Amino acid sequence: MDFNVKKFASDAGLFFTRAVQFTEEKLGQAEKTELDAHFENLMSRADCTKHWTEKIYRQTEVLLQPNPSARIEEFLYEKLDRKAPCRITNGELLGQYMQDAAKEFGPGTPYGSTLMEVGDCERRLGAAEREFFQTSAISFLTPLRNFLEGDWRTISKERRLLENLRLDLDACKTRVKKAKVAETKAAMAPDFQETRPRNYVLSASASALWSEEVEKAEHELRVAQTEFDRQAEVTRLLLEGISSTHVNHLRCLHEFVEAQATYYKQCHFHMQELQKELARLPNAFALNSTHSIATAGSASEGISSAVETDTLKIEEVQAPATGTRKAKVLYDYDAADSSELSLLADELITVYTVPGMDSDWLIGERGNQKGKVPVTYLELLS
C-alpha cells in the first residue's frame, strides 16, 4: 500500500509537470521541441488515412446493410463473439410472397404463372445479393476494420506516448535553463568589504549547491532525450507502415470491385432469363383484347359503322378535329401486328378514339407512325 501511494504521488507530480509545460507552451512562455518536416508529413498522412478509411468503412456498411437496427444487431453479435443468424434479403422475401400469391391465384392463370416466374427471379436476385454482401464484408470491410481497430490504435497509443515524452524533455530543458541562471547568480563575487566574512562562505555554498542542481538537471535531460529519441524512432516506423496499409487497401478495393461486377453480372443474367421466360408465357392483354374485339363484332353485327373494330384499317383512320390528348407511355410495348403501334416507356404520344373501337384501346400517333395502343400502358395527360 505504501508503494502504491508513492507511485500515485509520483504519477501525479509527473502529470502536473506536463500540464504546466503544456500550458506554458500554449501561452508562449516555454520553448517546444519541434519534430522534423518528414515526421510531420508522416503524421498528417496517417491522420488523413484514418479519416477517409473511417468514412469509407461507415458508408460501405450503409451500402451493404441500410437498416441501422440490423447493423447494431450484427455489431452486438460480433462483440459477444456469437454467430449472427442468417438474415433473408428483401429480394428473397419479395420472391417468396410472389410465389405464395401465385399459388393462391392459380399457377395456371396468366397472372399466377407470371408471378411464379418473377418470384423465382427475385429469389435468385436476393441470393446473389446475399453472396455479394458476404464477399464484400470479408474482402473489403474486415481489412478496413482491422486497420481502424488494430494498427491505428497502436499508432495513436505510441503518438500519445511520444507527446508525453516530448513534454518531459521540454520540462527538463526548462529546469536546466533555470538552474544555470540560478548558478550564475550564486557564482557572482561576494562583497569582500563586508565586515562579516560569513557572506562569502554562504555564497560559495550556494554556488556549489546550484552546480549540483545543474548536473542533476542535465542528467535528467540526457535521459529524457534518449527516451524521446527512442520513442520517436518507434513512432516513425509505425507511421511509415501506412504505405503498406495503402497497398493492402488497394488490393481489397480491387476485390470489392470484382465482387460488385460479379453481382451485377448475375443480376443482368437473371433479368434476361426472366424476360425470355415472360415472352413465352401467354399475354393476358392480348387475350383480353381479342375477346373484347370478338364481343364487339358480334354485338354490332348488322349495324353500319364508319370504322369496324375487327376490320380496322389504320391507314384509313383520320384524327378528329377535337378530342385528341397527350399520353405518357408507362411501359414498353411490342406491337402484335401491323395495326398496333410499338411503345417505349416514358415517351409522349398523341391518342384519340374512333367510333366502334373497344374501350381498352386507343389510336396512338407518333410523328408519321400510327396504330392501336392499349390503354393500360398509358397515362393520359390533361
Which one has a higher pLDDT value, 41 or 321?
41
Where does a domain end: 219, 253, 280? 280
**Average pLDDT in the 373-377 region?**
89
223 and 337 within one domain: no
Within a domain: residue 315?
no
pLDDT category at 174 given cuts 50, 70, 90 is: confident
Q: Which of 41-55, 62-76, 181-195, 332-346 has the lowest mean pLDDT?
A: 181-195
Q: Can you say whether residue 254 is alpha, beta or left, with left for phi > 0 and alpha for psi between -120 and 50 degrees? A: alpha
**Average pLDDT in the 59-70 region?**
83
**Average pLDDT in the 165-190 region?**
77
228 and 93 within one domain: yes
CA end-to-end span of the chain:
90
Residue 287 has pLDDT above 50, yes or no: no
Domain that holds residue 63: 19-191+204-280
Per the prediction, the chain carries an average pLDDT of 80
Percent of the chain with pLDDT over 70: 71
Which one has a higher pLDDT value, 338 or 31?
338
- Fill in the amino acid letter for 359: S
- The total of structural domains in the chain comes to 2
Q: Can you say whether residue 46 is alpha, beta or left, with left for phi > 0 and alpha for psi between -120 and 50 degrees? A: alpha
**Average pLDDT in the 321-336 region?**
83
Question: Which CATH number characterizes residue 335's domain?
Answer: 2.30.30.40
Tell me how far apart the alpha carbons of residues 326 and 347 are, in angstroms, rounded to a whole number: 10
Distances (CA, A) of 75 to 60, 67, 68, 130: 15, 13, 10, 18
Within a domain: residue 348?
yes
For residue 327, give the DSSP letter. Answer: E
Tell me how far apart the alpha carbons of residues 152 and 201 are, in angstroms, rounded to a whole number: 60
Per-residue pLDDT, 216: 83
**Average pLDDT in the 295-301 region?**
46
Within a domain: residue 25?
yes
Per-residue pLDDT, 151: 94
**Average pLDDT in the 40-48 region?**
95
Tell me how far apart the alpha carbons of residues 373 and 362 are, in angstroms, rounded to a whole number: 5
Within a domain: residue 210?
yes
Rg (CA), the chain: 42
343 and 260 within one domain: no
**Average pLDDT in the 36-54 region?**
94
Within a domain: residue 293?
no
328 and 276 within one domain: no
Within a domain: residue 6?
no
258 and 350 within one domain: no
Residue among 123, 130, 134 nearest 91 (CA): 123
The torsion angle over the Cα atoms of residues 325, 330, 334 and 339, rounded to 10 degrees, is -20
Within a domain: residue 11?
no
Specify the length of the chain in residues. Answer: 382
334 and 252 within one domain: no
Tell me which range, 216-220, 280-284, 317-321, is most confidently predicted by mean pLDDT.
Answer: 216-220
Three cell numbers, residue 179: 538552474
Within a domain: residue 235?
yes
Q: Which of 22-26, 31-35, 292-296, 370-374 has the lowest mean pLDDT?
A: 292-296
Find cell 459477444 and name the residue.
Answer: 80
130-140 pLDDT, tens digit per residue, is 999 999 999 99
262 and 333 within one domain: no
Where does a domain end: 253, 280, 307? 280
Residue among 209, 208, 215 nearest 172 (CA): 215
Per-residue pLDDT, 28: 65
Longest dimension (CA), the chain: 154
345 and 276 within one domain: no
Residue 186 has pLDDT above 70, yes or no: no
359 and 271 within one domain: no
Per-residue pLDDT, 9: 56
Per-residue pLDDT, 293: 45
Residue 198 has pLDDT above 60, yes or no: no
Question: Which CATH number characterizes residue 50's domain?
Answer: 1.20.1270.60
Q: Contact 339/372 with Cβ under 8 angstroms?
A: yes
Distance from chain centroid for Cα 338: 51
> H-type helices in the chain, by residue range?
2-26, 37-64, 68-79, 90-105, 110-136, 142-146, 152-186, 198-240, 242-280, 284-299
Per-residue pLDDT, 171: 85
262 and 119 within one domain: yes
Where does a domain end: 280, 313, 346? 280
Per-residue pLDDT, 274: 92
Per-residue pLDDT, 218: 84
Per-residue pLDDT, 322: 67
256 and 352 within one domain: no
112 and 46 within one domain: yes
Tell me how far apart the alpha carbons of residues 3 and 22 are, in angstroms, rounded to a whole number: 28
pTM of the model: 0.61
Residue 150 has pLDDT above 90, yes or no: yes
pLDDT category at 313 given cuts 50, 70, 90 is: low
**Average pLDDT in the 349-374 region?**
86
Q: Which of 195-209, 234-248, 311-325, 334-348 has the lowest mean pLDDT?
A: 195-209
